[in-house]
Amino acid sequence: MLPEIGQFALALALALALVQGVVPLAGAARHHVAWMSSARYAAFAQFLMVAIAYGCLTAAFINNDFSVQYVAGNSNTLLPLYYRITAVWGGHEGSLLLWVLMLAGWGVAVATFSRNLPLDMAARVLGVLGLVSVGFLSFMIFTSNPFVRLFPAPVEGYDLNPMLQDPGMIYHPPLLYMGYVGFSVAFAFAIAALLSGRLDAAWARWSRPWTTIAWVSLTCGIGLGSWWAYYELGWGGWWFWDPVENASFMPWLTGTALIHSLAVTEKRGTFRNWTVMLAIITFGLTLLGAFLVRSGVITSVHAFATDPERGVFILAFFAVTIGLSLALYAWRAPQVGLGGRFAAWSRETMLLLNNILLVIAAAVVLLGTIYPLAMDALGAGKISVGPPYFDSVFAPLMLPLAALIAIGPLVRWKQDQPVRTWQRTRLAVIAAAAAGAVWPLFYANWSPLVSLGLFVALWIVLAIGLELQERTRFAPTALASLKPAYLGMHVAHLGLALLMIGVAMVKGYEVEKDVRLSPGETVEVAGYAFTFRGTIPQRGPNYMADRGTVEVARGGTPVTTLYPEKRTYASKRGMPMTKASLDRGVLRDLYASLGDPLDKGAWVIRIYYKPYISWLWAGCILMALGGLLAASDRRYRVAVPGKQAAGAMALGRT
């Protein structure tokens, strides 16, 4: 019964989304107040319906209702309760339902917090969100219904993919989707602004906190995914340039460009068209990501099992949405003025360069991701594009970007002198260059690339330090009085610097070793002695495992003991899973995972030494924190003097 209620609720949600997508937009066009006001109610009602559907599917998982095909395919009676709840988003249909739930949730959030927005603006934003919802709900209902029944019902489910049975998996997809879906709000604001012709500083200010929160979610989602892959997949990698990782990374890059471009639009009224274009591109890239992951055009460890009908649907959705948006842009954008002028050396220029570099980076990733597909489509054979391409094109783009981060915040808006900037940062440059050159000397061999990476990262850190020193002398009261937006920027930049240090050190000095070890044998990796003590069989709730013991010592003193496991899950999937064991530290991680068993109790054991890898995740956390700080700035919550202020900078005035 419950699944049918869920099904019905989904159908109602689609109807409500249609109302939300049509009535308020029509109302805004004809200045019909009641029609515009309906947007809020429709958003709430739609969310309620989707939430009911989501609750029904969750109940089916909790009750082990294997008569629902999706439950039978992704759960199992042996699965612990918390994984049964998270298994809801373990497959294509359920993850789509989660996506729609979040989209409706963002709609409710906009409806709740948009009270000080002009009515027509709120109506248009919610209307566009409603239309996006129509697209995703139809996609789900017509091609990927999670409530399809199975008859006769199997006694036992197929089980959740063991790789997804991990705490990292509980948070990774929801956060990622929060980010993806959150950029729909930025997109809705952009389209609403184009429709109303009110592309101004007020619009940028309304849009900013939403965009920043979406960016924070995406940052956390990508960071968690990387962290999860690192300890769960057993190969010790944290980023693989897999097409699906790229699908999340591209909107992150353009989204990062967008939050910077929005800053310019809000502060100086410039870059308006460009900001709108970035919002459209970012949203387009999230749709593109959905297409790449769910249509089967590319192979990836992440890709869902697919059927071509779905691919056709999302492609059509992508083509219509982005096609219409670009058409609207082509029609409206030429009427938007250029905004404040700025000199060649100014904060605006710095941010423009930032935008250019980020967009080129996104384009480069897009090219690498779809190049194999293009070659195949042209009949030029099957190829794959891997880390060597991405690493070699990405570093040259990121290093100048990092340098921009160091100097950008020091440059004045509108006009500044390069000499003045140099005077403000020369101390940081010299100190960072010296430290960057010396730091790698403590490691195996000095490498210019690592040194360069460390130099720019340290430059950012020192530049921030000097700036705060100058402003506050690090007095607690002075620090506390800084604006959250300003502080947030520095925290996020600091996060990126930590991340860069982590990347440079890991890339430069990690040691990976696959060795054959018999019980009692020792291998030395990066100064640590790893002694294998054999494996013992163990039983988990729904799996059997061989649990290895690896003692680690340095210079004779024991450091830690690692317990890597090789698990075989009891369900029909039956594939062995590697569970790596890590000793985490600030300056290094030690990592052991079991490969294949050999004769006489010997195993192939994979041992890694990963210097500074925890700095990667710390950097991600700081970036997200910085974003949250920035979004919490009070000025986003104070009522805008409404239409007067907005009207003053409206369409046509330059």
Partner 1 sequence: MVMRLAISGVVFALLVGLFWVGLGLNPRELPSPLVGRPAPAFQIPDLFDPERQVSQADLRNRVTLLNVWASWCTSCRAEHRHLLALRRQGVRIVGLNYKDDRAAAFGYLESGGNPYEIVGFDQSGNAGIEWGVYGTPETFVIDRQGVVRYKHVGPLNEVVIRDELLPLITELERS
Site residues for partner 1 per CB under 8 A: 277, 288, 291, 295-299, 308, 311-312, 315, 318-319, 322-323, 326, 329-330, 333-334, 370, 372-374, 376-377, 381-382
Looking at beta carbons only, is 383 or 587 nearer to partner 1? 383
Longest Cα separation, the chain: 82
Looking at beta carbons only, is 361 or 526 nearer to partner 1? 361
* Long-range Cβ contacts of 30-36 (<8 Å, 24+ apart): 31/120, 33/119, 35/123, 36/119, 36/120, 36/122, 36/123
On whether the CB atoms of residues 629 and 491 are closer than 8 A, the answer is yes
CB of 204 to partner 1, least distance (A): 20
Looking at beta carbons only, is 83 or 291 nearer to partner 1? 291
On whether the CB atoms of residues 444 and 509 are closer than 8 A, the answer is yes
Q: How far apart are CA 1 and CA 188, in angstroms?
A: 36
CB of 334 to partner 1, least distance (A): 6
CB of 376 to partner 1, least distance (A): 5
Looking at beta carbons only, is 309 or 470 nearer to partner 1? 309
Looking at beta carbons only, is 208 or 294 nearer to partner 1? 294
Looking at beta carbons only, is 285 or 464 nearer to partner 1? 285
Looking at beta carbons only, is 30 or 382 nearer to partner 1? 382
Q: What are residue 517's DSSP bridge partners?
A: 603
CB of 550 to partner 1, least distance (A): 26
On whether the CB atoms of residues 413 and 351 are closer than 8 A, the answer is no
Q: How far apart are CA 97 and CA 145, in angstroms?
A: 9
Segment holding 603, helix H or strand E: strand 603-611
Looking at beta carbons only, is 330 or 586 nearer to partner 1? 330
Among the listed residues 45, 46, 22, 44, the one whose alpha carbon sits nearest the alpha carbon of residue 35 = 22
Peptide bond into 334 cis (omega under 30): no
Q: How far apart are CA 62 and CA 84, in angstroms?
A: 6
CB of 241 to partner 1, least distance (A): 16
CB of 242 to partner 1, least distance (A): 13
Looking at beta carbons only, is 277 or 410 nearer to partner 1? 277
Looking at beta carbons only, is 303 or 607 nearer to partner 1? 303
CB of 281 to partner 1, least distance (A): 9
- The 8-class DSSP code of residue 234 comes to S
Q: What are residue 393's DSSP bridge partners?
A: none
Q: How far apart are CA 652 and CA 246, in angstroms?
A: 39
CB of 199 to partner 1, least distance (A): 14
CB of 192 to partner 1, least distance (A): 20
CB of 53 to partner 1, least distance (A): 28
Pairing of strands 576-579, 603-611: unpaired
CB of 73 to partner 1, least distance (A): 19
On whether the CB atoms of residues 261 and 339 are closer than 8 A, the answer is no
CB of 324 to partner 1, least distance (A): 11
Q: How far apart are CA 243 and CA 299, in angstroms?
A: 8
Rounded (5°) CA angle 248-254-260: 135
Burial group, residue 34, by CB count within 10 angstroms (0-12, 13-18, 19+): exposed
> HSE-up of 435 (CA within 13 Å, CB side)?
17
CA distances from 24 to 34, 125, 183, 410, 590 (A): 9, 9, 21, 44, 57
Looking at beta carbons only, is 170 or 326 nearer to partner 1? 326
Q: How far apart are CA 291 and CA 429, in angstroms?
A: 44
Q: Where are the alpha helices (DSSP H) in 144-200?
A: 167-196
Looking at beta carbons only, is 57 or 298 nearer to partner 1? 298
CB of 583 to partner 1, least distance (A): 33
CB of 374 to partner 1, least distance (A): 6
Looking at beta carbons only, is 148 or 312 nearer to partner 1? 312
Looking at beta carbons only, is 51 or 385 nearer to partner 1? 385
Q: How far apart are CA 192 and CA 117, in angstroms?
A: 12
Q: What are residue 552's DSSP bridge partners?
A: 530, 560
Q: How far apart are CA 521 and CA 555, in angstroms?
A: 17
